[in-house]
Amino acid sequence: MTFDRRAFLNACSCAGIASPLLPGILLTLAAQAQEAGSGAGPNAASSAGAEAKPPALAKITDEMLDQAAELAGVGPFTAEQKKMMLDGLNDQRDAYAQIRALKIGNNVPPAYVFHPGPAETKIEKSAYCYTEVPRPPISDDLFTPFETPAHMEDLAFATVSQIGPLLQRRKITSLALTQMYLERLKRYDAKLHFVITLTEERAIAQAKKADEEIAAGHYRGPLHGIPWGAKDLLAVKGYPTTWGAGGFEHQSFDEDATVVQRLDAAGAVLIAKFSLGALAMGDKWFGGRTRNPWNPALGSSGSSAGSASAVAAGCVGFAIGSETLGSISSPSTRCGCSGLRPSFGLVPRTGAMALSWTMDKLGPICRSVEDCALVLDVIHGPDGKDLSAATAAFEWNPGLDWRTLRVGYLKSEFDPLPPSKLKEAAAGESNEDRKKREDGNAEMQAGRARREYDRRYELAALDKLRAMGVSLIPVELPKLPWEAMVPLLTAEAAAAFDDLTMTGHDRLLTEQGPEDWPNDFRVARFYPAVEYIQANRARTLAVRQMAALFEQVDVIVTPSTDAQLMATNLTGNPAVIVPNGLRGADAPKPPAIDDGDHDDIGGPDTPVSLTFLGGLYRDATVAWFAQIYQEATGFQKLHPKLD
């Protein structure tokens, strides 16, 4: 049966509907009706194996339409309106099946492309596009002098900019460096659970090649011979790419991701594929939970869990992570790393797992901002495959006088916290309700105590900047319903993993709670298409207003909080996250259970962070200023004691 588009739209128009009903509601209701009629349980389809097919769907009825209308927030419809709609709705549902029969892979994007800049945005074109010929390296003037170590493991916590000259001048070998990091990965993985797959054979071959090339005078640049690790959503030929998810443990691809190809061309040595929370959520994966090197009783946060944990633990030179909504920022904060979340589109995502085509970003997690710049210099630029990739330049300029930059700060995020509003007892409150209320109030008070404690570090950062001669300008984010736009992410994620929901294989994922992917994917099916478009129109307003904000300032300083995370991930603005000190012995103790939702729960002797935001494709400017702050404070030199 074919879908009669005109008849369906006419029916909707006659019914007075301003927007078509959401895709998925009637499908789900019909499936439930069919299961009820057949006696099949909710897991009947999923228990039949990989090739199981969903049962034939029941015909859409008046009652289903009433329920769907209530879920969608439209209607109610009269009997005559419903009669006109039913044929078109049944036909439309049949069209869903035809699309699903195509079995579209995760690597196929939608037929639209998101570019975050307003129409008038001017983008400085990159001086070069990627080819197999290595790019010109950032100037050697950036390298920090470093003495030849007495023991190779003395370099475990050194930065790329410190190790690079030693390799270039043949004071050490890439092979010895690689073997040292491989040994540390094996030693500490039992405690931190950050490795999914060691790429040892590949790494040894690359390290030997790097040593041969450097000895022959063919030095590829600052990353030549440096061991690194990839978040295991990047495809690497010859090795599994698991996405951290149960059911995908043996998945593999025949081509390296673009970022992997570029780092290969720069001479970097891939030694491991690091853990990520299942399908890029949190720090729990099919092999366990990745731990925070500063406090292994806690998770590392995610979803770039293993990348941040391994860098912080001195087990790799640098790592690549990804962020859709905090997945570079959060683990960098918890683990005390320097993370650079690039402007949307600056780094091509070809060969990376898709979660949200309009929000996914790949970026470096390192031990210094300088290192982040060295890595981003190599991996940025279009590849001709990711249509969202921008031809923007990353022009690192150590000669830039940072004193000329206009630096803002999100004033409300540094202001005193408003009074807590504890929930009061209701008349006739039961013992169960009383306990729930008291537990909720205690959790709120504990969260406030942690926030108040960390606020002193944030205020100290402002004092330090002023002492450096920075005239801070108070600014605020545009007043928009940022959280109401976040369902754009889950709608795209549900489409990216539609087959998991439809086959019931989502039950193989490690986490099955109300805030985990299986439930999120199901809920997203009830998101109306028109509301998705309306949220994207609101996002256009957000992009325009954020661009206007960065006409007033060049850099914004902010705590690494949820408010700016939502806003800047939706608008695609770059962020640099830097360690901002260690909590003292008087810090509030961590909660008994780490739910993964908060980055301020580390307790005594764990790191705090600060975030610097920039205008679109002004990644080099914001990174340069963040590096200046980092050099002035020295917090990047702190590292955890693992033994």
313-329 per-position pLDDT tens digit: 999 999 999 999 999 99
How many residues would you count in the chain?
643
CA atoms within a 13 Å half-sphere pointing along the CA-CB vector of 7: 13
The pLDDT, as a whole number, for residue 15 is 39
Task: Say whether pLDDT at 4 is over 60.
Answer: no
Q: How many other C-beta atoms lie within 10 A of the C-beta of residue 216? A: 8
Token match 């489409």: residue?
495
231 catalytic? Reply is yes
Average pLDDT, integer, range 612-625: 97
Rg (CA), the chain: 26
Per-chain mean pLDDT for the chain: 87
pLDDT band at 526 (very low <50, low <70, confident <90, very high): confident
Cα distance between residue 189 and residue 185, in whole Å: 6
Task: Say whether pLDDT at 136 is over 80.
Answer: no
- In 411-528, where does DSSP find H-type helix? 411-414, 431-467, 482-485, 487-496, 498-503, 517-524
Q: Nearest to residue 633, comparing CAs of 587, 568, 578, 552?
A: 578
Cβ neighbours of residue 190 closer than 8 Å, sequence gap 6 or more: none
Cβ neighbours of residue 134 closer than 8 Å, sequence gap 6 or more: 220, 221, 265, 266, 267
Sheet (strand 407-410) strand order: 195-198, 269-274, 227-231, 318-323, 361-366, 338-341, 575-582, 607-614, 555-558, 407-410, 472-475
Task: Say whether pLDDT at 307 is over 80.
Answer: yes
Q: How many other C-beta atoms lie within 10 A of the C-beta of residue 98? A: 11
Task: Give bridge partners of residue 607 from the DSSP assignment.
Answer: 582
The residue annotated as part of the active site, out of 126, 161, 301, 303, is 303
Pick from 90-94, 137-141, 397-401 the range whose average pLDDT is largest. 397-401
The pLDDT, as a whole number, for residue 597 is 83
Q: Which of the pair, 515 or 351, is modelled with greater confidence?
A: 351
The pLDDT, as a whole number, for residue 228 is 99
The residue annotated as part of the active site, out of 82, 126, 174, 231, is 231
Task: Say whether pLDDT at 133 is over 70.
Answer: no
CA atoms within a 13 Å half-sphere pointing along the CA-CB vector of 86: 16
Residue type, 444: M
Average pLDDT, integer, range 295-301: 97
pLDDT band at 31 (very low <50, low <70, confident <90, very high): low
Structure tokens at 72: 């969608």
Cα distance between residue 488 and residue 579, in whole Å: 31
pLDDT band at 129 (very low <50, low <70, confident <90, very high): very low
Average pLDDT, integer, range 38-56: 46
Average pLDDT, integer, range 479-490: 92
Task: Say whether pLDDT at 437 is over 60.
Answer: yes
Average pLDDT, integer, range 201-213: 98
Q: Nearest to residue 580, comparing CAs of 435, 361, 414, 417?
A: 414
Share of the chain above pLDDT 90, in %: 66
Average pLDDT, integer, range 224-234: 98
609 catalytic? Reply is no
Pick from 88-97, 203-212, 397-406 the range whose average pLDDT is largest. 203-212
Q: Nearest to residue 543, comparing CAs of 7, 253, 121?
A: 121
Question: Could you report the per-residue pLDDT of 455-473, keeping only the tens digit for each?
Answer: 999 999 999 999 999 999 9
Q: Nearest to residue 405, comparing CAs of 555, 201, 272?
A: 555
Question: Could you report the per-residue pLDDT of 568-612, keeping only the tens digit for each?
Answer: 999 999 999 999 999 999 999 999 889 888 899 999 999 999 999
Cα distance between residue 69 and residue 327, in whole Å: 36
The pLDDT, as a whole number, for residue 57 is 73
Question: Could you report the per-residue pLDDT of 273-286, keeping only the tens digit for each?
Answer: 999 999 999 999 99
Q: Say what the pTM is.
A: 0.86
Task: Say whether pLDDT at 105 is over 50.
Answer: yes
Residue type, 303: S
327 catalytic? Reply is yes
